[in-house]
Amino acid sequence: MATIPVDDLEITRQFGPHLSASTRAGTSTEPDRLVKTHCCFCGQQCGIQLKVRGNEVIGFEPWEEFPFNRGMLCPKGVKRYLQGSHPDRLLTAVRRDPSQPAGFRPMPYDEAIAFAAGEIRRLQEAHGNAAIGVLGGASLTTEKTYLLGKFARVCLKTPYIDYNGRLCMVSAGAANKKAFGIDRTTNPWSDMVGTEVIWIAGSNVAECSPITTNYVWQAREQGAKIIVQDPRITPIARTCDLFLPVRPGRDAALFAGVLHLMIENGWIDREFIAAHTVGFEQVAEYCRAFTPARTAEVTGVPERSIRKAAELWGTARSSFLLHARGIEHHSNGVQNALGTINLVLASGRIGRPKSGYGTIVGQANGQGGREHGQKCDQLPGWRDISNPEHRRHIASVWGVDERDIPGPGVDAYEMFRKIDAGEIKGLISICFNPKISLPDNEFVARALDKLEFYVAIDFFLNDTARHADLVLPGSLQEEDEGTVTQVEGRVIKINKAVDCPGEARRDWVILQDLARALGRPHGFTFSSPREVFDELRVASKGGVADYSGITYEKIERQMGVFWPCYAEDPETGRPTPDHPGTPRLFERGSYNPVARGAGPFYFPDGKARFNVAEYRTPVDDVSEEFPLFLTTGRVVSQFLSGAQTRRIGPLVRQYPEPRIEIHPRLADKLGIADGDWATCETRRGAITLRAMVVTTIRPDTIFIPYHWAGPKSANRLTVAAQDPISKIPQYKVCACRVRRAEGAPDYAARLEPQQ
Ligand SMILES: Nc1nc2c(c(=O)[nH]1)N[C@H]1C(S)=C(S)[C@@H](COP(=O)(O)OP(=O)(O)OC[C@H]3O[C@@H](n4cnc5c(=O)[nH]c(N)nc54)[C@H](O)[C@@H]3O)O[C@H]1N2
Ligand SMILES: Nc1nc2c(c(=O)[nH]1)N[C@H]1C(S)=C(S)[C@@H](COP(=O)(O)OP(=O)(O)OC[C@H]3O[C@@H](n4cnc5c(=O)[nH]c(N)nc54)[C@H](O)[C@@H]3O)O[C@H]1N2
Ligand code: SF4
Ligand SMILES: [Mo]
């Protein structure tokens, strides 16, 4: 029997630890073995050792030797082991059945696969192959994401596949490709220690990238100056040297204003700009209008702070620029990211030790998951699905006719618009919880109910899966092996600790079982993740994200391999079994297969591109009716849609409920005291939460973390505006108004007492 979980709003009441009866009854919690692997949550991918007893993960031990985190872990990594034996874990497939109290009943696995295949075939025969859409996720291993992309194109022959990284890394990815021709952080984080200046734009690193924070602290101990740009004084900002309290959605203007001053004061590296870049003059021309006075007016950052930023950044000899979703989750997200890159290129401080640029990866496999073909316009190796040469290469690896590979699809949100319009009638989702995580999510819920058939693959019945006709029981990270690529670009190996319980199956096995049941098993007969990886190596060869020289053994030997890693020297064509990988990109004199010796950047002329990074006001900006900025993001103890972390008792207790962060001046004006119920309303909807009065936020801005469902979901409020290039949603700003609530919301009756 599957345990069919209670409704998603209530899961926070199920406190851990959830160890099985046998383990609880045991006299000792000594493990049988330790398995070296990595955390299942964020893109830092800390090394960890899982303690395993029988077929159960019962705890963890630090893995001191792993070079990135050296045994350090954050609260989430420490508690991740509590998921495996959680009572909500899906142990069988479950099929919708309104007659049951939970709305679902268990279904034997083989029957469930046959049912799903029958529905997919029915819809494709009636409406064409494109009637089925596929949604993937960047918490999956690279092997799974590769297989999923192939499954959509070869088995289902649908163009409609996209993934949850669309909500995360795509603005940075698009900007990196435009500026450098390659999309990867440029340096290992150890390069940060000893640098002179670190600029952190739009990232709450202390809560979201705790290990990166440790590198920042080490750098600071050695004298680095820290600049933080955020509408909130986040924990890292409390000790920084310069804080830039930017008004939400105004980052591109700030970058332009800083570059303006750098140019005016001669704080730029003219030699580097001339030798290694193109496009500087147009950018300089654009920045001319961003005088300090105008920049201050647009951004809300005092003029003296803008001058100080330009001086600190402009006169440094070594530096790091880091950014995350705070500047990327915007309808201007690509422009914002290009604005940071312009500051880096103008300084000339890239491609050498102690100087680098990086966009901080979010999801576990945020990097690998965006390289090998689960994006709507992409084929493995960062290849372009519209490029005939790229298509021919992949068709030859897959053993199909190039004409049979569908063209580009659409982004994940657009897929929901197509579902709403009745064009996409069937959906397969894996590792994605769009009902919580997409903006304006009441629309998403309505669209889900229009699907004729929806099958989700997950180990928990998440909020979106509640709309499914069928949920197939997938695997937890520790139940499978495979690779992921972490924040620095280091490909690492996840090792299997336990077998899937009950009728749960490894995700890639489920995909292959579906292919077989559909009568289209060609290309889906792998017997292990290693076999999938070996095909991926061939498929990625010659692409920008070239993994051909990486093997499981090399990863183990080197504790990770930075891509690109070539099986054949791109310069000589000779086999290079010992290619160590590429920890630092763009070093002078380095060779890459695109520039072929012309220069360090991944364009035929070897030069990086300056791009005019245009400032535009956000969509749904403040007005008289909605006078405040709403911004959304994270807290340290919760992860993404909360499907996993809201089930882990100790993490829930750390921050049980979402709250509205509000400045005391604003709170006073609105008659709201700390702990009061307050209603936040936007043009999409309203939610009522407790207020948390803090002095660490701009008085014109409120902040709500988004990890909760239903009436506590911040995405009931957010706007579905998207960046025109990357299609990332504008989560970080929309207009709202706040009032003291009349009374407690309905759900409050079901809450734990306030602590
Ligand atoms: N604890 C925890 N850690 C996580 C995650 C998690 O859910 N929980 N998720 C992981 C994932 S997938 C991701 S993408 C990363 C995200 O990591 P971050 O991007 O660091 O986190 P966010 O909270 O989304 O937003 C970062 C900051 O942007 C600020 N901000 C809001 N609007 C603006 C703006 O207009 N301009 C600027 N400059 N800043 C703005 C917010 O105040 C916030 O402090 O974290 C990863 N790590
Ligand atoms: N308002 C607002 N909204 C946001 C953001 C924001 O800052 N503000 N941030 C956005 C960002 S950056 C992100 S990354 C998205 C994330 O949004 P989602 O991707 O929707 O969130 P997750 O919680 O990762 O959902 C993943 C689901 O996959 C399951 N899962 C995890 N690992 C595996 C696996 O290995 N196999 C299988 N089969 N299932 C697995 C989990 O149980 C969970 O149900 O949210 C976005 N939404
Ligand atoms: S920093 Fe990220 S990878 Fe490391 S333990 Fe925390 S959630 Fe896991
Ligand atoms: Mo993310």
Mean pLDDT estimate for the chain: 95
Q: pLDDT digit string (tens) for 589-605?
A: 899 999 999 999 999 99
Q: What pLDDT, on the 0 to 100 scale, is given for residue 29?
A: 72
Q: What pLDDT, on the 0 to 100 scale, is given for residue 82?
A: 87
Could you tell me the pLDDT band of residue 3, with boundaries at 50, 70 and 90? low
Q: What pLDDT, on the 0 to 100 scale, is given for residue 755?
A: 37
Confidence check: pLDDT of 499 > 50: yes
User: Which of residues 354 and 16 earns the better pLDDT score?
Assistant: 354
Measured CA to CA, the distance from residue 335 to residue 254 in angstroms comes to: 12
From residue 168, how far is each of 80, 138, 490 by CA, in Å?
22, 9, 19
pLDDT cut 70: percent of the chain above it = 95
Position in ligand 1 atom list of the atom nearest CA 204: 20
Could you tell me the pLDDT band of residue 13, with boundaries at 50, 70 and 90? very low
The answer to whether the beta carbons of residues 644 and 356 sit under 8 Å apart is no
Measured CA to CA, the distance from residue 701 to residue 714 in angstroms comes to: 15
In the three-class reduction of DSSP (H, G, I as helix; E, B as strand; rest coil), residue 242 is classed as: strand
Measured CA to CA, the distance from residue 206 to residue 148 in angstroms comes to: 33
User: How far away, in angstroms, is 368 Cα from ligand 3 center?
Assistant: 17
Say if domain 8-85 classifies as CATH 3.30.300.30: no
For 628-749, CATH number out of 1.25.40.10, 2.40.40.20, 2.60.120.280, 3.30.70.100 equals 2.40.40.20
Instruction: Give bridge partners of residue 358 from the DSSP assignment.
Output: 322
Identity of the residue numbered 723: D
Residue 618: φ, ψ to 5°: -65, 160
What is the secondary structure of 363-374 as a DSSP string?
Answer: BTTTTGGGTSS-
Query: To 5 degrees, how large is the angle CA 686–CA 689–CA 695?
Result: 110
Q: What pLDDT, on the 0 to 100 scale, is given for residue 5?
A: 61
What is the secondary structure of 654-677 as a DSSP string?
Answer: HS-S-EEEE-HHHHHHHT--TT-E
Tokens representing residue 88 in the block: 């909500």
Could you tell me the pLDDT band of residue 27, with boundaries at 50, 70 and 90? very low
Confidence check: pLDDT of 457 > 80: yes
To the nearest 10°, report the CA torsion of 209, 213, 216, 217.
Answer: 180
**Ligand closest in space to the Cα of 236:** 1
Quote the distance between the C-alpha of residue 344 and its chain's center.
23
93-165+374-484+493-525 has which CATH code? 3.40.50.740
The answer to whether the beta carbons of residues 372 and 350 sit under 8 Å apart is no
Confidence check: pLDDT of 1 > 70: no
**Ligand closest in space to the Cα of 475:** 2
Q: pLDDT digit string (tens) for 679-694?
A: 999 999 999 999 999 9
Confidence check: pLDDT of 629 > 80: yes
Please list, residue by residue across 339-364, b when 16 or more beta carbons sit within 10 angstroms of its beta carbon and e when fewer do.
Answer: bbbbbbbbbbbbbbebbbbbbbbbbb
Measured CA to CA, the distance from residue 260 to residue 286 in angstroms comes to: 9
From residue 465, how far is each of 178, 449, 486 by CA, in Å?
36, 11, 28
Please indicate whether residue 47, judged by its CB atom, sits closer than 6 Å to ligand 3: no
Confidence check: pLDDT of 351 > 50: yes
Q: Whose CA is nearest to atom 4 of ligand 2?
A: 437
Q: Which of 732, 733, 734, 736 to mutate for ligand 1's pocket (most ligand atoms within 8 Å of CB)? A: 732
Phi-psi region of 43 (alpha: psi -120 to 50; beta: other; left: phi over 0): alpha
Position in ligand 2 atom list of the atom nearest CA 438: 47
Confidence check: pLDDT of 18 > 60: no
Position in ligand 2 atom list of the atom nearest CA 169: 12
Domain spans of the chain, in order of start: 8-85, 93-165+374-484+493-525, 170-359, 628-749
Q: Where are the beta strands (DSSP E) in 588-699?
A: 608-609, 628-633, 659-662, 677-681, 686-693
Q: pLDDT digit string (tens) for 540-592?
A: 999 999 999 999 999 999 999 999 999 999 889 999 989 999 999 999 989 99
Position in ligand 3 atom list of the atom nearest CA 48: 5
Could you tell me the pLDDT band of residue 20, with boundaries at 50, 70 and 90? low
Confidence check: pLDDT of 475 > 70: yes
User: How far away, in angstroms, is 363 Cα from ligand 4 center?
Assistant: 5
Could you tell me the pLDDT band of residue 2, with boundaries at 50, 70 and 90? very low
Measured CA to CA, the distance from residue 140 to residue 142 in angstroms comes to: 6
**Ligand closest in space to the Cα of 717:** 2
Q: Indicate the class that CATH gives domain 170-359.
A: alpha beta
Please indicate whether residue 331, judged by its CB atom, sits closer than 6 Å to ligand 2: no
The predicted model scores a pTM of 0.97
Question: What is the DSSP code (8-state) at residue 424?
Answer: -
Mean per-residue pLDDT, 235-257: 97
Tokens representing residue 459 in the block: 């180990």
Position in ligand 1 atom list of the atom nearest CA 229: 38
User: How far away, in angstroms, is 137 Cα from ligand 2 center?
Assistant: 7
Q: pLDDT digit string (tens) for 59-105?
A: 999 999 999 999 999 999 999 988 888 999 999 999 999 999 889 99
Q: pLDDT digit string (tens) for 314-344?
A: 999 999 999 999 999 999 999 999 999 999 9
Confidence check: pLDDT of 742 > 90: no
Q: At what angle do helices 280-287 and 251-264 cross, to 10 degrees?
A: 100
Q: What pLDDT, on the 0 to 100 scale, is given for residue 4?
A: 61
Cis peptide before 564 (omega within 30 of 0): yes
Q: Whose CA is nearest to atom 30 of ligand 2?
A: 431
The answer to whether the beta carbons of residues 469 and 119 sit under 8 Å apart is yes
Measured CA to CA, the distance from residue 94 to residue 448 in angstroms comes to: 18
Q: pLDDT digit string (tens) for 270-306?
A: 999 999 999 999 999 999 999 999 999 999 999 999 9
Specify the range with the lowest mean pLDDT, choosing from 20-29, 468-477, 622-631, 697-706: 20-29
Measured CA to CA, the distance from residue 368 to residue 88 in angstroms comes to: 29
**Ligand closest in space to the Cα of 648:** 2
Mean per-residue pLDDT, 520-539: 98
Mean per-residue pLDDT, 486-508: 98
